[in-house]
Structure 1
Amino acid sequence: VCMESVNGSWKKQVDDIRKIFEFKEILGTGAFSEVVLAQEKATGEMYAVKCIPKKALRGKESGIENEIAVLRKIKHENIVALEDIYESPTHLYLIMQLVSGGELFDRIVERGFYTEQDASALIKQVVDAVNYLHSLGIVHRDLKPENLLYYNPHEESKIMISDFGLSKMEGAANDIMSTACGTPGYVAPEVLAQKPYSKAVDCWSIGVIAYILLCGYPPFYDENDSKLFEQILRAEYEFDSPYWDDISDSAKDFIRNLMQKDPEKRLTCEEALRHPWIAGDTALRKNIHESVSRQMKKNFAKAKWRQAFNATAVIRHMRRLQLGSRCYLCLGSSMQEANSSSKTPERHTRPSTVTTIITGSK
């Protein structure tokens, strides 16, 4: 194995990646890549390896190398790490950290006690990590609950942000971010409007996630995609009774200030970290688990089909290795996948299928 410098990072040249890693099972596939559960032979450590054929990168080599160089710079306790990069004559291999704590909503549903304080603590970790990304000039562009995983099965486990398939450097040469991308239910109005946008889009998404964490259903929903988009474009959402009756005014203020239609008026991550609901003691201690978990089971249960295959493969190997009862893939293929969901509160419905929007080049 030899090393070659690429835009300030390193990639390792190798003839056959299987000399270094034992490939187990395919965890998932995308349009241009597949992700494999792999064990490093020298250490026994488990990783998720994203295998990208070079032929899929033709004409995009410079952009890919720049993006990987950026990902190599990211070192944060709440962000899934890119551990290594290997290159063979035919493939590029991204060696990603594997996390074992399961998805955010699953853990909330499973626990018997859940409060605004718990939601505040979760959101604080997310905001802190995204603030770190923004300090590096990186915009995630696809923040959503499915990309928030627990590091391990322990009760006090930290939250990890995963999946940087749509991440982008802000202010890159000759590149104004205006490509509509991400998952519609979580994207900011300016993205759907295909206007130039900035890191403020991530702050909007955090607001949507905070909303869901406090009631169990999304702020925007309609069976018709066009009507769903219209709601988002107008930033039309409500704090419905009775689901929000026991939620603090401070929490609602936090969400309102993140889900501002005008990105200039939206809280930045730094400002969000100073908001009383995050930095103070305004988050209530009342147990809201019954109501929130009931809504989460209604609205997000069907999404499980999307990760069932990935989860089954990993669980089987983790059990063999006694590394824990759950392990989920840290690097997905959100650009190609659709999110499945069901109904929201009794009088509302939301899309049975919400299609990921990708237009133009990345």
Structure 2
Amino acid sequence: HSRLKGRSSLVCIPPLCRVSPSPITRSSMCVFVCRGAFSEVYMVKEKKTGKLFAMKCVKKKQKNDLNLENEITVLRRIQHDNVVRMEDFYESRTHYYLIMELVSGGELFDRILDRGVYSEKDASSVIKQVLQAVSYLHQNGVVHRDLKPENILYYSHDENSKVMISDFGLSKMVDNGVMSTACGTPGYVAPEVLAQKPYSKAVDCWSIGVITYILLCGYPPFYEESETRLFSKIMKAQYEFDSPFWDDISESAKDFTRNMMQKDPNMRFTTDQALRHPWIIGKTARSHDIYYSVSVQIQKNFAKSKWKVSRH
């Protein structure tokens, strides 16, 4: 086995130096969770403390090496209650191993569908936590660049669980505040990115606006079968609050969404402005149950793979 750099007391690391293609379930100390294109995720237990972690194993010499190195650089720099924390990092001849805080509560959409009852107040609470995390990132010179519902996870299955932001593969540390690389997931990308203009941390605020829109109605603000037409609509910020889906949504929620989805990034809310909005601080979000309409639309609209694939 290759020698690993880092904490050696994680019980299942030696067998994973070769990372078998089959799920590794031989030990109760190491449980296979999922497999991606270039990585596998395991739940591991630290011998000394009995504490559980998630371990992401990534093969080297893949085109995503730079993204991973970028993610590690960013994760080493940040620590926030609503950001999935990297506990440790190892490297062998063939693999990278990221030891991450274990986040077990599932994805945002799945949680909404499981609830049975859901209101603007619930959506507002999620967005407030996302804003707090992103505000912290921006203060520390980090722009996420790929905020979307799939990257918002619940920490636990507890009813009052906090949400966590994950996946920093496309994030960027910026000194001068300006970037130019087009990346992200098409439906959540800001107009200035698609227009191939220099852009700033305001792109994250746009993405939060899109997520807010979806949390209030269950469908995306921009949808076209043709990517060209989709991009055209986004670049014009051409969206509606359609009836009947938005009829029961408060004007305050619509006002917040409009401010987050301003076409001009200079007019768009910053995270600090957003955190001061009445809909976020809890004064105007309605408690009226919108579960049925939102859950039906989520199930109908979010099998669409084009909303899930990041570009880089």
Same fold, judged at TM 0.5 (above): yes
Aligned with 1:40 (options 43, 46, 52): 46
* Corresponding residue of 1:148: 152
Q: Distance in 2 between matches of 1:80 and 1:355?
A: 20
Taking the aligned partners of 1:51 and 1:156, their CA distance within structure 2 comes to: 30
Aligned position for 1:297 = 299
Are the structure 2 counterparts of residues 157 and 66 from structure 1 closer, same or farther at C-alpha, using a change threshold of 3 Å? closer
Offset at 1:13?
Answer: 7.8
Compute the displacement of 1:291 (Å): 1.2
Candidates 186, 189, 197, aligned match of 1:187: 189
Q: Structure 2, unaligned stretches of length 5 or more?
A: 17-28
The structure 1 segments of at least 4 consecutive aligned residues displaced by more than 6 Å after TM superposition are: none
Structure 2 residue matching 1:55: 3-state secondary structure: coil
Shift of 1:44: 3.4
Aligned AA (2:284): T
Q: Write the distance in 1 (CA, Å) between the matches of 2:293 and 2:69.
A: 46
TM-score of the superposition, structure 2-length normalised? 0.85
2:210 is matched with 208
**Structure 1 position 161 matched with structure 2 position 165:** yes
Letter in 2 for 1:29: G
Match of 1:345 in 2: none
Secondary structure of 1:181's counterpart equals coil
Amino acid at match of 2:146: D
Question: In structure 2, how many angstroms separate the alpha carbons of the residues matched to 1:40 and 1:90?
Answer: 22
Q: Say if 2:2 is the partner of 1:49.
A: no
State the shift of 1:254 in Å.
0.4
Mapping of residues 1-362 of structure 1, within 5 Å: 12=6, 18-19=13-14, 23-25=30-32, 27-31=34-38, 33-56=39-62, 67-171=71-175, 177-300=179-302, 302=303, 340=305, 353-354=306-307, 356=309, 358-359=311-312
- Decide whether aligned partners of structure 1 residues 292 and 12 sit closer, same or farther in structure 2, where only a CA change above 3 A counts: same
Separation in structure 2 between the aligned mates of residue 237 and residue 275 of structure 1, nearest angstrom: 21
* Matched-pair contact (CA < 8 Å) for 2:70–2:172: no
Code of the aligned partner of 1:85: F
Conserved 8 A contact 2:186-2:311 = no
Change in Cα spacing, 1:77 to 1:211, as seen in structure 2 (3 Å) is same
Shift in CA distance, 155/66, structure 1 to aligned 2, threshold 3 Å: closer
More RCO (CA 8 Å, sep 6+): 1
Residue-by-residue CA offset, 1:188-225 (whole Å, 9 max, x unaligned) = 11111222111100000000011011111110001111
- Residue 67 of structure 1: CA displacement? 5.0
Q: What CA deviation, in whole Å up to 9, does each residue of 1:16-57 have, x standing for no partner? A: 9724986532622234x4433333333333322222344348
Which stretch of the first structure deviates more once superposed, 198-207 or 273-282?
273-282
1:12 partner SS = coil
> Does structure 2 conserve the Cα–Cα contact (< 8 Å) formed by 1:104 and 1:146?
yes
Q: What is the total number of aligned residue pairs between the two structures?
A: 295
The 8 Å contact of residues 222 and 238 in structure 2, kept in 1 or not, is answered as: yes
What are the ranges of 5 or more consecutive residues in structure 1 without an aligned counterpart?
A: 1-10, 303-338, 341-352
Amino acid at match of 2:104: S
RMSD: 2.7
Question: What is the rounded CA distance, in whole Å, between the counterparts of 2:51 and 2:222 in structure 1?
Answer: 41
Identity rate of aligned residues, in percent? Answer: 62
Shift of 1:100: 1.2
SS at match of 1:78: coil
Offset at 1:265? 0.6
Going from structure 1 to structure 2, the CA distance change for 1:200 and 1:176 (only over 3 Å counts) comes to closer
